[in-house]
Structure 1
Amino acid sequence: MELLTFLKEQAIDGFLPLQSSYAAMERFTCNFREVEETALKNGILPLRYKRNQKTISTQEQYALFQSTVLIIGCGGLGGFVSEMLTRIGVGNLILCDGDVFEEHNLNRQNFSSPKTIGRFKAEVLKEKLEEINPALHVKSITTFFDPKTDKNLIQQANVIVDALDNPDLKCLLARLCHDNQKAFVHGAIAGYYSQFATSALLEPLYLKKGDGVEKKVGNPSFTVCFAASIQSVEVVKLLLGKPHLQAPLMGDLWEYELILL
């Protein structure tokens, strides 16, 4: 019996349960990713994606599985964006960050805990994300992104996510993506406020040089989660060819406002 025939027999109402995937791995000596790819390619939806179905079709789910997203920065924004994309079903993530978890990260950064302090953020995220979704392929890079030497990373991804905390580097990354015609999702937070842009140059948003405003007003967890959600939606829209932001967006969680600039 071939793998596809087995998966069709195991599917319940068109959904493939997790235990059936494990059974297929053992029976056909393949890995979890191969099982999920075979299922999605042939219109069988893994049960983990059942609640995606009314929003994302099985065909679109397969498109997400085949996609690659580069997330530059694995702290507040990057940690939550990476988990959301993992759970929605993006199949390949490249995580780039040379930083390690520190105690002051515990208020907002996903997967930071007393046990992970001192460990590379990119490595911790890789471990945790692959636990959440065994079909996911994660490449972790434990060095800081350098626009001069890391252009090859840009070429490997369908969408690049800006989860950096340095305004100057954000602008350089946006320009690099623009010059290489690569889809790019920008996000930044400060206090109750956040800003976003998709496939746009960022110099108009950062007229003043130097540290970001978050150095003065802080980074609370709820703003991080909110901003990461907006970024994740934009990534999925780009990957699936859906309408996305055409102008910068500002979010205000104090007044509960979203403003297009």
Structure 2
Amino acid sequence: MELLTFLKEQTIDGFLPLQANYEAIKRFSCTFQETEKMALQNGITPLRYKRNQKTISIEEQYTLFQATVLIVGCGGLGGFVAEILTRIGVGNLILCDGDVFEEHNMNRQNFSSPKTLGRFKAEVLKEKLEEINPAVHIETMTRFFEPQTDALLIQEVDVIVDALDNPDLKCLLAKLCYEKQKAFVHGAIAGYYSQFSTSALLEPLYAQKGDGVEKKVGNPSFTVCFAASIQSTEVVKLLLGKPHLQTPLMGDLWEYELISL
């Protein structure tokens, strides 16, 4: 029996359950990624994506599966963006961060806990995300991103996500992506506020040099989750060719406003 025939026979109400993937791996000596690719290529929706339907078509689901996203920074924003993209079905993630989890991260950073303190953030994310979605392919870079030496990596991905906490490095990364005409999603948080932009230079947003304002006003967990949701939405829109953010935007969770900058 061919793999495709088996997958078709295992569908329930048109959806492929998780257990069928595991059974296919045993019978056909294939990987989870290969079974999911075969299913999506042939119009079979894995059950995990049932609630994506009506919003994301099966063709678009396959587009997400084929996409590669580079997330630079695996702390607050990067951790939540990585989980959201994993759950929605982006097939390939590259996680870059040379930092380890510390106690002061635990108020807001996804997967930080007493058990993960001292471990590389990128490696913890890879471990946890593969538990959430075994079909995702994740590469880790347990070092800090270098815009110049990592320029070739930028060329190989579809979207780059800025989840950094250093304004100068954010601006350098945005400039590199702009020059190479690569899709780039910026995000930053401070207190009740967040800001976003897509495929744009960041110097106008960081006229003053020095540390980000979050050092003064803090980083509550709800602002991180909100900002990561906006960034993730922009990534999906870019990958699917949907209309996306054209001007920088500020989110104000104190007054519940979205303001164009």
Tell me the distance in 1 between the aligned counterparts of 2:26 and 2:216.
Answer: 54
Tell me the distance in 1 between the aligned counterparts of 2:78 and 2:152.
Answer: 20
Instruction: Tell whether 2:138 aligns with 1:132.
Output: no
> How far apart are 1:153 and its partner, in Å?
1.6
Q: Aligned AA for 1:234?
A: E
> How far apart are 1:14 and its partner, in Å?
1.4
Tell me the distance in 2 between the aligned counterparts of 1:216 and 1:153.
Answer: 34
Aligned to 1:15: 15
Instruction: Tell whether 2:51 aligns with 1:68.
Output: no
Aligned to 2:194: 194
Runs of 4+ displaced beyond 6 Å = none
**Unpaired runs of 5+ in structure 1?**
none
Instruction: Tell whether 2:106 aligns with 1:97.
Output: no
> How far apart are 1:222 and its partner, in Å?
0.2
> How far apart are 1:70 and its partner, in Å?
0.1
Aligned to 1:245: 245
Q: How does 1:173-212 map to 2 (within 5 A)?
A: 173-212=173-212
Q: How does 1:77-116 map to 2 (within 5 A)?
A: 77-116=77-116
Aligned to 1:218: 218
Q: Aligned AA for 2:251?
A: G
Name the stretch that deviates more: 144-153 or 198-207: 144-153
Tell me the distance in 2 between the aligned counterparts of 1:172 and 1:121.
Answer: 22
Tell me the distance in 2 between the aligned counterparts of 1:126 and 1:163.
Answer: 16
Aligned to 2:38: 38
| Same amino acid, percent of matched pairs | 82
Tell me the distance in 1 between the aligned counterparts of 2:126 and 2:153.
Answer: 17
Name the stretch that deviates more: 23-32 or 227-236: 23-32
> How far apart are 1:155 and its partner, in Å?
1.2
Please give the per-residue CA displacement for 1:137-159, whole angstroms capped at 9, x wherever unaligned: 00000000011211122112100
Aligned to 2:57: 57
**Unpaired runs of 5+ in structure 2?**
none
Q: Residue 219 of structure 1 aligns to a residue in which SS?
A: coil
> How far apart are 1:225 and its partner, in Å?
0.2
TM-score (norm 2): 0.99
> How far apart are 1:43 and its partner, in Å?
0.3
> How far apart are 1:11 and its partner, in Å?
0.8
Instruction: Tell whether 2:142 aligns with 1:154.
Output: no
Tell me the distance in 2 between the aligned counterparts of 1:66 and 1:162.
Answer: 21
TM-score (norm 1): 0.99
Q: Aligned AA for 1:31?
A: T
Q: Aligned AA for 2:10?
A: Q
Instruction: Tell whether 2:168 aligns with 1:168.
Output: yes
> How far apart are 1:128 and its partner, in Å?
0.5
> How far apart are 1:93 and its partner, in Å?
0.1
Q: Residue 124 of structure 1 aligns to a residue in which SS?
A: helix
Q: Aligned AA for 2:221?
A: S
Tell me the distance in 2 between the aligned counterparts of 1:153 and 1:225.
Answer: 27
Tell me the distance in 1 between the aligned counterparts of 2:42 and 2:2.
Answer: 13
